[in-house]
Amino acid sequence: MTSTVLVRAKDTARRPVLRRGLAAGIEVVPGTAGDHPAAQLFLSSVFPESSSVDFQSQLDDPSYEPSDRLLIKHRQNVAAHLRLIGREMRFGAATLPVSCVTDNGTLPEFRGRGYASALLEAAECKMYQDGAVLGLLRTSEPAFYRRRGWIVCGRHSYSTIGCHQMLAEWQPQETQPTGMPGPARPPALHIRYLRRVELAAIIRLHQTHVRQAYGAYVRNDACWRWLLNRRGFDRIYVAIEGAPEIELDGTFSAIVGYAAARNARLVELVLASRRPDTVQRLLTRFCSDAIEQDLRQVRVDLPPDHPVHAALLASGGTYCRQELDRGQAFMVKVLDPARLVRGLHAEFLARLGADKQFMHRELGFVVGDGQWILDITPHGSRLEAGRVRRTFVRCSGAQFWQMLLGHLDVRQAVQDGLMSVSNRLALESACTLLPPLPLWFPPLDDLPAT
Ligand SMILES: CC(C)(COP(=O)(O)OP(=O)(O)OC[C@H]1O[C@@H](n2cnc3c(N)ncnc32)[C@H](O)[C@@H]1OP(=O)(O)O)[C@@H](O)C(=O)NCCC(=O)NCCS
């Protein structure tokens, strides 16, 4: 084999070459529908966990275009492959256009020639051109991406607990009626599987939930239908207040929470705030079903600030919140810093508690040899190169983006001597403007189809 990728004349004529890469002759081309069989063959040999069902579900994704695949071809075959998924991510008061990198791989016989690097470089250009401000990925090769300017951002966050242990602590206790008049009881809560016609209730609950989230993806109706069809989960439970029958008026207002599970893993839990006992009922039902399936332990994936983690810990469970879990890390690359900061404007105003009196706030950053000013006015937020004044933070480039995305606790990092501030005002400003956040990427959108 030579190290040159041969792109057939016909291919070259029909589609643009996205990148002539690191080593001479490497050409990255966008995929077409005609590449699907070769791409599927490639994925099954490089990613053994991939399946034909999952490949079909990629094609069924309403946002999918064959050109979302970037390829390096060797004759008829795909030698290296990467796929992009365009999404909108909620970030507190802001909604950010992002792009997720997935299935980046090279056939073993072509590794070490710069193929994956060339694909990633082409992907970053395409994501930027498509309007994404951030690239996101989850990888078992963080060192590879770190060397290409990606930074770790976002942590795994889940609790585990023995099923019997949890049921012993969480099972609702029946109270004996005393005969005395007590406070009015809330309507009974029923837990059962979701019925497809009730999808609108799930969409409504999720929409309310993502308004407060950092890292959750916005899902439109078409996306929800796709998620339901692809079945990255085994079952979705719903909690219904009052009668468990389907509401004929189509509002499904009695559905006050849902939980999506895959085997022993609860992958999504969304609750309407008005019934605090919903979480207990959904989790005990999930746990009882796990016992029926001979599972001994369950895992509950939720954002780091979710109160269920503390409750499970108090019941004898364990909590994992770390950057690296089983070798896997979440990483980001800021593709368009100016647009990212502009896009975060509503969030900055919310953090400053900005009222009508608010005029202006700025903070300087010394990042390596560069100096930057984060400038916030009632009309917009900007990040511009410029000489810092007396109040500034000195940090690395990675730390700057981690701070901006709420991954890094500034106060802790200064205390630990990992970064420095010029004065007390700089520390207080940085803590107000760039607080640590419960940034968390929910698993349901990316679990392989079953
Ligand atoms: C990780 C993986 C994608 C790398 O693919 P690759 O095509 O070998 O990657 P590259 O050739 O671009 O880079 C690999 C190394 O070879 C080096 N390299 C790049 N061009 C080269 C060239 N022309 N000649 C020799 N070496 C070269 C790179 O410097 C790189 O080393 P570095 O990371 O220390 O810089 C590949 O090993 C793989 O498919 N693994 C299995 C799937 C996987 O784990 N994917 C990542 C999860 S998202």
Tell me the pLDDT tens digit for each residue of 371-408.
999 999 999 999 999 999 999 999 999 999 999 999 99
Amino acid at 345: H
Listing DSSP states for 1-70 in one string gives --SSPP--HHHHHHS---EE-SSTT-EEEE--GGGHHHHHHHHHHH-TT--HHHHHHHHH-TT--GGGEE
Q: At what angle do helices 345-352 and 424-433 cross, to 10 degrees?
A: 120
Determine whether the shortest distance from the Cβ of 208 to ligand 1 is under 6 A. Answer: no
Instruction: Please tell me the predicted confidence (pLDDT) of residue 243.
Output: 73
Assigned CATH for 8-152? 3.40.630.30
Helix, strand, or coil here: 200? helix
* Ligand 1 centroid distance, CA of 30 (Å): 20
Ligand 1 atom 9, closest CA? 116
The model's pLDDT over 213-261, given as tens digits with 9 standing for 90+, comes to 999 999 999 999 999 999 899 999 999 998 777 666 666 788 999 999 9
Cα dist from 168 to 61, 113, 163, 323, 327, whole Å:
41, 56, 9, 32, 33
Of all protein residues, whose CA lies closest to atom 45 belonging to ligand 1?
105
pLDDT band at 11 (very low <50, low <70, confident <90, very high): very low
CB 216 within 8 A of CB 90: yes
pLDDT(23) > 90: no
pLDDT band at 274 (very low <50, low <70, confident <90, very high): confident
pLDDT digits (tens, 9 = 90+) for 34-69: 999 999 999 999 999 999 999 999 999 999 999 999
Atom of ligand 1 nearest to the CA of 101: 48
What percent of the chain is modeled with pLDDT above 70? 90
Domain with CATH 3.30.1050.10 in the chain: 336-433
Give the residue whose CA is nearest to atom 5 of ligand 1. 116
Tally Cβ neighbours within 10 Å of residue 224.
16
Q: How far apart are CA 70 and CA 33, in angstroms?
A: 12
CA–CA separation, 362 vs 375, rounded Å?
4
Nearest-CA residue for atom 2 of ligand 1: 105
Give the chain's mean pLDDT. 90
Q: Where in the chain is the domain with CATH 3.40.630.30?
A: 8-152, 157-171+187-319
- Mutation probe of ligand 1 site: the residue of 49, 72, 106, 145 with most atoms within 8 A of C-beta: 106
- Class of 336-433 in CATH: alpha beta
pLDDT at 300 over 50: yes
Residue 22 has pLDDT above 80, yes or no: no
Specify the CATH architecture of the domain 157-171+187-319: 3-Layer(aba) Sandwich (3.40)
The pTM score is: 0.90
Ligand 1 pocket: which of 49, 120, 144, 331 to mutate (most atoms <8 Å of CB)?
144
Whose Cα sits closest to atom 30 in ligand 1?
A: 112
Q: Are 89 and 21 in contact (CB under 8 A)?
A: no
Cα Dmax for the chain:
87
Residue 112 in contact with ligand 1 by CB distance below 6 A: yes
